[in-house]
Structure 1
Amino acid sequence: MINKQIIDTSSSEEQHNHSIVNASEDSATLSSTINTTEGETEPLLGEYQVEPSSSGLFLCSKLRARYAIAIWAFFGFFCLYAMRVNLSVAIVAMVAPQSALNQSIQACPTVEKNSTKPAPKYEFDWDPSKEGIILGAFFYGYLTTQVIGGNLAEKFGAKWIFGGGIFIASILTLLTPLAARIHYTLLIAIRVIIGMASGPAFPSAAVLWGKWVPSSERSTVPPAAQTGTSIGIIFTTPLVSIMTENGFIGGWPSAFYVFGMTSCIWFICWCFFGFNSPNQHPRISNKERLFLSKHIPPRPSKHRVTPWKKIACCPPVYGLAIMHVCYTYIYYTLLTSLPTYFATILNFNLQQNGFIFALPYFVQFLTTIIVGQIVDRLRARKTFSITTLRKTQTIIGTVGTCGFLVAIGYMGCNQFRAVLCCILAVGFLGLQTCGAIISHLDIASNYAGTLVGITNTLATIPGFVGPYVVGAITKNNQTIEAWRLIFNISAGIGAFGSLAYCILFNGEEQRWNRIEHENDTNGPTNT
């Protein structure tokens, strides 16, 4: 008769299960590896007492390897978004405002203040339509590399796909001021290529999470790492404003020099501390490696055929795609256009603009972290199904976001109320950031890179459509009524996406995600 042993395989990771794992015939091997004796259990925080090795030069030696990977990915996303949004703020200092004589202005009155500062000098005289094309150019390139980036990450590993794209974008960011001064078409070309280089980031990160993050942490760790995007916005916008107003490295060009160089430094660190999987990490503890191998579904062979037909016939994928497109329409429209709204309608100066623009994304960061923790706890207790949790997050987030978007247009010239509505509208997006937007991992973690590539490709379209719509509506018409229409359109699109998601999405793992025998209906295991 086989004696039963009590094993605590990974302490804090499994405390949410509230169960004791009984030993099987293989227990002896695990027990000797984990160093637990029969009848004993480790303390709840025993996982932190790992082997004396480091997950990274600048990180605590006792930090779990998967969290170290997430932290480096966080800084990667920080750099990615710093290079994406710097133009949205810098363009306010680059381009001369359109003459009031050529516009139907009914915006808020300006309070005249005595100032010893010289009048700002603008280098360019692009009209709003041209600005819209320049701001949207990034997304023309971003559209083209999503699916292929995710697929390559699944086949060859996410480390170099994720890091290499950010490195290429950093070099091109350093060249942006030169391109703008030569001709605006060259600036558009540079932004298109930066978009192409940035495209694989989210799909390849999804592959990374599929190999590093157990299902019990998927509402917390991936969203937390990806809040690097929000933190990138929070730091970039006020910093660009300060550097521009104080003439640092020539004023507005500093927005591109500083963050381009920062991203190059990040890439050097990623080369040493980023790893495709636990099996490739030279410093991960045996305990964490065993925990991850047990709690992460086995992945298919790198040569396994992607089940394209099954993906194309999967209703949850369609629900995800529609939701993703509608979410990003709101997100990208606000991301590229709020600085213009703050400057032309609410009359904030450049420095005020940068700080105020950062506030909504700080609230989104907090919302994502807090709600992600709550959802993971509810998921661990199995109080609600993952489908119920994801749909509830989506409904609450959509009602909040769309409601406050509509409200912005009716705040008139009241700066405080208008900014508060902007903050709350973006803050409620955080519920979707840690919900619907990471649902790819719920339904098919083995093909998350491909799924994110598909939905993110479609979701890139609003990136250039949104700024174009804003430019078309506000051309010679920078009025409260014009911006009210912009916010109402965004709210309507967001509501439609939420409805489609709630109808089509099911959070259960799809059968075609599972690894089966060679005669699996998905096809052969090699190409």
Structure 2
Amino acid sequence: MDEKPSTRKSPEFCSLRYGLAFIMHFSNFTMITQRVSLSIAIIAMVNSTQQPGLLNTSTERPLAFTFNHSNRSIREVNTAEVSVYEWSPETQGIIFSSINYGIILTLIPSGYLAGIFGAKQMLGAGLLISSLLTLFTPLTADFGVILVIVIRTVQGMAQGMAWTGQFTIWAKWAPPLERSKLTSIAGSGSIGCVCCLLWFTVIYDDPLHHPCISIREKEHIVSSLAQQSSSPRRSVPIKSMVRCLPLWAIFTGFFSHFWLCTIIITYLPTYISSVLRVNIRDSGVLSSLPFIAAASCTILGGQLADFLLSRNLLRLITVRKLFSSLGLLLPSLCAVALPFVASSYTTTIILLILIPGTSNLCDSGFIINTLDVAPRYASFLMGISRGFGLIAGIISSTATGFLISQDSVSGWRNVFFLAAAVNMFGLVFYLTFGQAEIQHWAKERTLTRL
């Protein structure tokens, strides 16, 4: 990336590439919502007597209590009226992680196929299937936990199809100096079926074939990507990839990042309900705040990263490592502090908001680093990267369920300490081996015809 791409400007927020980013934003928002909705609903679905350290009644505090200690009002409610399923914390951990099993099954093949046949149909179909399965989830719960796990696994397969192909599209639509900005807008986010209509109607795999794109915008995108190969690849250099330490640095970063993020995404409502003793209504409100912070930090981080690059204030690798460091170090510090401030509701909520918010700064770091080191194989490598992240999510979800089932207080402390340790390992490895130059095996090779 030493070569500077074209700096010719085209209209930004009125352009098709930004329209694509916003449609992807709503699509990603939909899939994240479909994943976390069960995490909030499960508080009312499970028998709270299964939770360690809790009696047959649960203490609920209204939202005002969280921020106003002078208005403390504690009311006891019988959870038997809302408890339906006797799912232990270990069982809940398996349910939460089952969607990751499905995503893993489709990440690599969908990424490879999206690079060959185009990502539009694959993304649209994945979003539609995931949306439909979400509608059936409440019905399947009545037929047993096994069917819930199966539905969540299939839903994960559909989401895997939708997640991976995005980088195939951005490899053709995003100018290098706008990659952080565009991918952060797309990634910062029930609407599902509506998004599908927009997706199949107005989205195209590349700007060259879009019937409505302006000549100015098309020339801007094409000239910005001129130094990168757009020809179809004949084979994937697996051996070279396996020996590439910069790729392993990205994979390790994904593993570390997803470990803590999965815990926050899946267990945040449970933590707020069981540790802070907040009722389910207010738990839903509080659980939404970290995601608002995450969306804001993702967009602001992308804007800042592209600003630093466009003004030549920092080198590309410096920007990637800076945002990776912030995205792994800051949430680790917040996670380690959580057990020590459990008695302060306001401080706990602030830290819970900061963890996903600061974690998403990684989106401008190693998350999009595959577009720097191997743009020709970005979709395939993104599938592998997310595979490492999902393996971390499976392990962390299951381990969290096991740890908090032993003892609620020490269990949560061990959960956060372990997550911080994993983050620190990933950060050190990425800072040591991370790069931002196109690797030799990913460069275009001139074919000689005899």
TM-score if structure 2 supplies the norm length? 0.90
**Counterparts in 2 of 1:503 and 1:182: CA distance versus 1, 3 Å:** same
**Counterparts in 2 of 1:118 and 1:490: CA distance versus 1, 3 Å:** closer
* 2:65 is aligned with 1:71: no
In structure 2, what residue type is equivalent to 1:223? S
Residue 8 (structure 2) aligns with = 14
1:347 pairs with one of 262, 270, 277: 277
> 3-state SS of the aligned residue for 1:475?
helix
C-alpha contact (below 8 Å) 1:104/1:477 kept by paired residues: no
C-alpha contact (below 8 Å) 2:59/2:76 kept by paired residues: no
Residue 384 (structure 2) aligns with = 454
Residue 36 (structure 1) aligns with = none
CA distance in 2, matches of 1:136, 1:77: 19
Residue 141 (structure 2) aligns with = 180
* 2:97 is aligned with 1:136: yes
Structure number, greater radius of gyration: 1
Q: CA deviation at 1:98?
A: 1.8
**Counterparts in 2 of 1:287 and 1:99: CA distance versus 1, 3 Å:** closer
Q: CA deviation at 1:367?
A: 1.7
Residue 289 (structure 1) aligns with = 218
> 3-state SS of the aligned residue for 2:374?
helix
Structure that is richer in helix per residue: 2
> 3-state SS of the aligned residue for 2:278?
coil
TM-score if structure 1 supplies the norm length? 0.77
* 2:206 is aligned with 1:277: yes
**Counterparts in 2 of 1:118 and 1:442: CA distance versus 1, 3 Å:** closer
Once the two structures are superposed, the pairs formed by residues 258-337 of structure 1 within 5 Å of their partners are 259=190, 262-297=191-226, 298-302=228-232, 304-337=234-267
Once the two structures are superposed, the pairs formed by residues 212-223 of structure 1 within 5 Å of their partners are 212-223=173-184
Once the two structures are superposed, the pairs formed by residues 479-518 of structure 1 within 5 Å of their partners are 479=409, 481-518=410-447
CA distance in 2, matches of 1:114, 1:306: 61
C-alpha contact (below 8 Å) 1:98/1:127 kept by paired residues: no
Q: CA deviation at 1:63?
A: 2.1
In structure 1, what residue type is equivalent to 2:281? Q
Residue 352 (structure 2) aligns with = 422
> 3-state SS of the aligned residue for 1:517?
coil
C-alpha contact (below 8 Å) 1:200/1:453 kept by paired residues: no
Let me know the Cα RMSD of the aligned residues.
2.5
Residue 162 (structure 1) aligns with = 123
Residue 166 (structure 2) aligns with = 205
> 3-state SS of the aligned residue for 1:219?
helix
**Counterparts in 2 of 1:498 and 1:303: CA distance versus 1, 3 Å:** closer
1:80 pairs with one of 22, 31, 34: 31
Residue 70 (structure 2) aligns with = none
After superposition, give the CA deviation of every residue in 1:454-495 in whole Å (9 maximum; x if it has no partner).
Answer: 11111111222112111111115222x221111111111011
**Counterparts in 2 of 1:491 and 1:368: CA distance versus 1, 3 Å:** same
Question: Which runs of 5 or more residues in structure 1 are unaligned?
Answer: 1-8, 16-46, 50-61, 229-258
**Counterparts in 2 of 1:95 and 1:272: CA distance versus 1, 3 Å:** same
**Counterparts in 2 of 1:451 and 1:118: CA distance versus 1, 3 Å:** closer
Residue 68 (structure 2) aligns with = none
Q: Percent identity?
A: 29
Q: CA deviation at 1:320?
A: 0.2
Residue 432 (structure 1) aligns with = 362
**Counterparts in 2 of 1:199 and 1:217: CA distance versus 1, 3 Å:** same
Task: Judge which range, 142-151 or 360-369, deviates more.
Answer: 360-369
Task: Judge which range, 309-318 or 183-192, deviates more.
Answer: 309-318
After superposition, give the CA deviation of every residue in 1:116-146 in whole Å (9 maximum; x if it has no partner).
Answer: 9997422211111111111111111111111
CA distance in 2, matches of 1:103, 1:94: 18
Q: CA deviation at 1:88?
A: 0.7
C-alpha contact (below 8 Å) 2:327/2:361 kept by paired residues: yes
Q: CA deviation at 1:425?
A: 2.0
> 3-state SS of the aligned residue for 1:200?
helix
Equivalences, count: 432
Q: CA deviation at 1:174?
A: 1.6
> 3-state SS of the aligned residue for 2:340?
coil
CA distance in 2, matches of 1:420, 1:382: 34
Residue 322 (structure 2) aligns with = 392
Residue 305 (structure 2) aligns with = 375
CA distance in 2, matches of 1:205, 1:136: 23
CA distance in 1, matches of 2:111, 2:229: 15
Question: Which runs of 5 or more residues in structure 2 are unaligned?
Answer: 62-72
In structure 2, what residue type is equivalent to 1:465? I
C-alpha contact (below 8 Å) 1:406/1:487 kept by paired residues: yes
